[in-house]
């Protein structure tokens, strides 16, 4: 089997390492011919780096790892070379302008058969995956996708589900929650408030996901709780670090999927008529802070009241609470 990976950033290259280690040949497509280098580890001879998408044509499986901002354009260009291969989406995010999820964009561009669409998500720091650190991941899709995963991702600890939308929402949601959690780490009053905020935010993500057709158990899997614990508590997480930077009025560096993820969640919630008050308030707050940071101005001390929606997992009902958060102090 030969796998074509579309995107040679940190995650794409990390996947190339782990897939090659498992005995599968890899074609790693890179926009500029570059790929991520990890300390102490070289790229396997089983990995061929290319800038020519034509080299993806005879691959048995495609893995899409392009950043959310470039996903549509990249998939549109790749369509010419698509030969009905299964496509597994590994990008966790939402399109900046539209707020659409990557699976939605995939359908609008390449439009694979439903049985050929999969999603891989979970607590996956690319550097650790590349260095063979034990890593759990959720693979969502059809039985066909699951069988492919057993070969391609045989070096990962996999759980399997048919809940594609739930796995997608988890990936997008954890990015948004990680961003806000980093912000609260600086602006909040302590660890208790950080835990309070993260819990309430994740409940809103779960509530939205279920309204979109997700299953509850998906949010407790690697792609949900596992990824949340990893990225919403660690400075290694780009989104968590970006939230801290926003709170400190510092410029953002690198790819920060959490910003567009937050926008995408709120847009989907609006379209689905789902009440997500904290996500909505923080979207507005962080948008204002980004503008202030861009203009190199000092943040003003702000206190605001948020109406918090607490989702009861057992009863699957919301009850309204009012909490006073000092995040923007």
Q: What pLDDT, in 10s, does the model give residues 10-33?
A: 999 999 999 999 999 999 999 999
Band the pLDDT of 291: cuts 50, 70, 90. Answer: low
Topology of domain 164-325 in CATH is 1.10.1040
Of 75-84, 94-103, 185-194, 291-300, which range is least confident? 291-300
Domain boundaries, the chain: 2-161, 164-325
Q: How far is the C-alpha of 28 from the C-alpha of 5, rounded, in Å?
A: 5
Spatial CB neighbours of 189, under 8 Å, sequence gap ≥ 6? 326
- pLDDT score of 273: 97
CATH, range 2-161 = 3.40.50.720
Q: Which residues are catalytic?
A: 174
Q: How far is the C-alpha of 165 from the C-alpha of 100, rounded, in Å?
A: 12
Q: At what angle do helices 257-271 and 277-294 cross, to 10 degrees?
A: 140
In the numeric block, the tokens 């794409």 are attached to 12
Mind giving me the DSSP string for 223-265?
IIIIHHHHHSS-TTSHHHHHHHHHHTT----S--HHHHHHHHH
Mean pLDDT on 96-110: 97
- pLDDT score of 255: 79
Band the pLDDT of 52: cuts 50, 70, 90. Answer: very high
Band the pLDDT of 328: cuts 50, 70, 90. Answer: very low
Total-model pTM: 0.88
- pLDDT score of 287: 77
For 171, the token pair is 């990936």
Spell out where the chain has E strands. 2-6, 25-29, 47-50, 61-64, 87-89, 117-121, 136-140, 157-161, 304-312, 317-325
């Amino acid at each position: 089997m030969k796998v074509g990976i579309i995107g040679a950033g940190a995650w794409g290259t990390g996947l190339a390492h782990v897939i090659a280690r498992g005995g599968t040949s890899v074609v790693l497509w890179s926009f500029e011919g570059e790929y991520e280098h990890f300390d102490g580890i070289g790229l396997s001879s089983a990995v061929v780096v290319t800038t020519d998408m034509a080299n993806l044509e005879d691959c048995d499986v495609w893995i899409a790892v392009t950043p959310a901002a470039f996903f549509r354009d990249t998939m549109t260009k790749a369509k010419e070379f698509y030969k009905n291969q299964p496509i597994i989406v590994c990008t966790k995010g939402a399109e900046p302008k539209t707020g659409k999820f990557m699976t939605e964009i995939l359908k609008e561009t390449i439009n694979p058969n439903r049985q050929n669409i999969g999603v891989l998500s979970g607590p996956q720091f690319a550097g650790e995956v590349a260095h063979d650190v034990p890593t759990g991941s959720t693979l969502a899709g059809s039985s066909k996708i699951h069988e492919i995963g057993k070969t391609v991702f045989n070096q990962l600890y996999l759980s399997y589900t048919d809940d594609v939308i739930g796995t997608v929402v988890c990936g997008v949601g954890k990015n948004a929650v990680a961003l806000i959690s980093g912000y609260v780490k600086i602006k909040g009053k302590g660890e208790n408030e950080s835990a309070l905020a993260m819990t309430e935010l994740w409940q809103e993500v779960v509530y939205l996901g279920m309204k979109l057709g997700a299953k509850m158990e998906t949010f407790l899997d690697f792609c949900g709780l596992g990824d949340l614990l990893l990225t919403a508590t660690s400075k290694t997480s780009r989104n968590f670090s970006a939230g801290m930077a926003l709170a400190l009025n510092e410029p953002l560096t690198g790819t920060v999927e959490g910003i567009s993820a937050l926008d995408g969640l709120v847009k989907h919630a609006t379209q689905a008529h789902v009440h997500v008050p904290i996500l909505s308030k923080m979207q507005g707050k962080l948008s204002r802070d980004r503008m202030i940071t861009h203009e190199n101005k000092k943040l003003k001390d702000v206190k605001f009241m948020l109406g918090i929606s607490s989702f009861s997992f057992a009863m699957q009902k919301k009850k309204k609470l009012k909490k006073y958060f000092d995040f923007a102090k």
